[in-house]
Amino acid sequence: MATLIDADLLTAIVTPFDENKKIDFDSLKKLTNYLIDQGCNGFVIGGTTGETPTLTHDEKIELYKQFGQIVNGRAVVIAGTGSNNTAETIKFTNEVAEIDGIDYALVVVPPYNKPNQRSMVAHFTAVNDNVKMPFLIYNIPGRTGVRMEKETVVQLSQLDNIRVPAKLDSQFLVDDPAD
């Protein structure tokens, strides 16, 4: 059964870059500390806002390592690990599970492939059964081209590793959080 994440304010944080197109960790640290000082107690790093599709594998790993150190237990950290390839999603999620300071993974409905509901269940069940950390399902139809149906969300909520934010003010799972 899906478990709630204890964070009142989850911020999808940007990945700042310097003039050489490298991740600007100094700016990331300043922004993160500012947000924590303002009451943010949860972050999504490496999601859509964090430009994860534009980062290399090594850049993502370094970003997550640095971010885990910056936050240093002061907030919940959710790191984007999903892709359109189930095996790669599992492999990368397990790599991220070894990084200090990362609490949860964020696994997107596979983009580009436009899976049907049955294929979504197969994808997330395989991830659930083969990863070493809990994760959130990221339903973002504008980026994936498909919408996860509420019945699918309910079915997937029975999996052990699925987590949901305590307060749904975004489209992490469904269009209408009241549903």
User: How confident is the model over 88-114, as pLDDT tens digits?
Assistant: 999 999 999 999 999 999 999 988 889
- Percentage of the chain beyond pLDDT 70 is 90
Mean pLDDT, range 64-87, rounded to an integer = 97
Report domain extents, the chain. 3-165
d(C-alpha 16, C-alpha 20), whole Å: 11
Residue 19 CA, distance from chain mean position: 27
pTM over 0.95: no
For domain 3-165, give its CATH number from 2.120.10.30, 2.160.10.10, 3.30.70.360, 3.20.20.70: 3.20.20.70
Residues 6+ apart with CB under 8 A from 54: none
Mean pLDDT, range 153-162, rounded to an integer = 90
